[in-house]
Amino acid sequence: MDIDLVLNELSLSPPARDKQTARQGMLNLVHTANIATDHHINNAIIVHSQFYETEIAPGYSVYDWLFDNELSPDERQLIGKFFTNQFFLDDWQDPEIKDERLGSDFFYNEEPAPAEGLGFAFLLGSLALSVRSEPPDPRWESSSITLKRIWIDEDDEDDNNPKSEEVQVVHASKVEHIQELIPWIEERIQTSVRDGKDLWERKEELFPNLEFCEKVSKQLRKVHYGIKLESIIQRLLELQDYCKTWKSGKFSTKSRDSPGDARQESDQTLNHKKYGPKRIFRCPDGEDRTFTWHISVEENWRIHFFPYDEKPGRMIIGYIGRHLPTVTDPH
């Protein structure tokens, strides 16, 4: 599953009134894109072919901005994250998307120019990004943009007349829009995973901060598409998101980003001669560890995890399955 970033070139017009305003607008764009990548979105922005030559202030092009001496080292590094490996609309290789793009025109309201970037984002099912001007342009102040799509249905041999429809494009011009779109992003991820086997094969892509014990592979292969799978993905995403902001100290449920129901097993269960060993799992490094933490999943399942307190930002997933027996609930 890939969610790409696509630049809305209409947001570059009209140009900003001066270099400083243009510089800030472009930095806001990159900052918004950076926040988007924190939520499993690709870190390259797809742009139109004339992007670098576009004048974003009088006598000041995108190319000038990229090499502006007034940019700080941190700003240059952030810009490089998105504009080192460049993708252009015209270079897209997927034949189905290319054909759909050639056969469709997209327009925003009564704008005479086609909305190429917004339309391409719609075809990809991806996220459109706009440069936020000063003062903000009301056209780009929503996390959803309505376009008019015009196309000819080549499969309908009896009707060669152009057809039209209104379509919605997911869109961001500021960080607040990304926050609004988190449910959409998570739904895209969940619906793109076919089953537990697919989830296992894509675990590094979806959860780069989580390690998985080999035993979890067999447990996930029993999970088919449905509410349980969606719940497992949702809970793993919560652990992944916590790890991304966990920079120091021990794992804590008091952190704002911690999963709401994360809890530890009781000492009575951990020290029980029968139930305690059920929480010991062989880890990827070959060590056996006791997994004291767990969170709930639909249908009375649990995910047992081990926070690497000596390596903040990393966790091991040791078990995904039915609620293990405890002293108070031996079932």
76: three-class secondary structure by DSSP: helix
Alpha-carbon separation of residue 158 from 100, 155, 161, 311 (angstroms): 20, 9, 9, 65
What average pLDDT does the segment 41-69 reach?
95
- Residue ranges per structural domain of the chain: 5-182, 194-322
> What is the structure's pLDDT at 154?
63
> What is the structure's pLDDT at 153?
65
pLDDT in tens, 139-195: 999 999 999 999 876 655 555 778 888 999 999 999 999 999 999 998 888 888 989
Contact 165, 149 (CB under 8 A): yes
Q: Which of 261, 257, 263, 231 is CA-nearest to residue 243? A: 257
Q: What's the chain's average pLDDT?
A: 92
Residue 144 pairs with which residues in a beta bridge? 170
With 0-12 CB in 10 A as exposed, 13-18 as middle and 19+ as buried, what is 196?
Answer: buried
DSSP assignment of 274-327, as one string?
TTGGGGEEE-TTS-EEE--EEEEETTTEEEEEEE-TTSTT-EEEEEEEEPPP-S
With 0-12 CB in 10 A as exposed, 13-18 as middle and 19+ as buried, what is 168?
Answer: exposed
Three-point CA angle 35, 126, 141, nearest 5°: 60
Contact 260, 240 (CB under 8 A): no
43 has pLDDT over 80: yes
What average pLDDT does the segment 248-268 reach?
89
DSSP assignment of 263-279, as one string?
EEPPHHHHT-TTTGGGG
DSSP assignment of 163-174, as one string?
EEEEEEEEEESS
Contact 235, 202 (CB under 8 A): no
Phi, psi for residue 282 in degrees, rounded to 5: -75, 125
119 has pLDDT over 60: yes
Q: Which of 188, 206, 186, 187 is CA-nearest to residue 196? A: 206
CA 314, 316, 321, 324: dihedral to nearest 10 degrees?
Answer: -110
> What is the structure's pLDDT at 60?
98
pTM of the model: 0.69
With 0-12 CB in 10 A as exposed, 13-18 as middle and 19+ as buried, what is 3?
Answer: buried
Q: Which of 70-84, 157-171, 282-296 is the least confident region? A: 157-171
What average pLDDT does the segment 202-229 reach?
93
Alpha-carbon separation of residue 281 from 237, 276, 288, 290 (angstroms): 22, 11, 5, 7
Nearest-angstrom CA–CA distance, 92 and 115: 17
Looking up tokens 């902001």 gives 245
209 has pLDDT over 80: yes
